[in-house]
Amino acid sequence: MADLMDAIYEEDDEENDGLHEEDYLSMVPDPIIVKGAGHVTVFGLSNRFDTEFPSGLAAKVAPEEYKSTISRVNSILRKTLPVNVKWLFCGCICCCCTLGCSLWPVICLSKRTKHSIEKVLDWENSHLYHKLGLHWVLCKQRCDSSNMMEYVLKIEFIPKVSILKPD
């Protein structure tokens, strides 16, 4: 009698566990990288990002929405980077006399610029892109041509878990 109950119990487990790992489908495309397109870079942050619409976003987001997001980021860079360049120039001139302390203002301003861009991207993500299954983030990446690091905009696809029902 005990063997019969064990067998029924084991069969019930198999029947209730109708979903297997193969039934889950989660194919996420590679993230899209938007590199800096400007001619001035301060501490890895370019003075603007390219507004050309990437083909990988064609069915996900409207080109107008993409361009408005890039324009918001570029407007932050347009306002803050000239000030950062001036402080960097002054800091480099006085670097020997101040033992490097004259570079602190430009480091702080650069962090503030990155924080402002991250805030804009967070707002865009919460109001638009998360609903479309996308996530924008500002991150560091190694340059193709050298060992230097640069900041890029990474557009990640949020995985959707869908269950395939057996035929």
Burial class (CB in 10 A: 0-12, 13-18, 19+), 145: exposed
Q: Can you tell me whether residue 4 is helix, strand or coil? A: helix
Give the pLDDT confidence score for residue 23 in this predicted structure: 46
Amino acid of residue 111: K
- The model's pTM: 0.72
Q: Which residues contact 31 (CB under 8 A, 6 or more apart)?
A: 154, 155, 156, 157
Over residues 22-76, the pLDDT tens digits come to: 444 457 788 999 988 888 887 888 889 988 999 988 888 999 999 999 999 999 9
Q: What mean pLDDT, rounded, does the chain reach?
A: 79
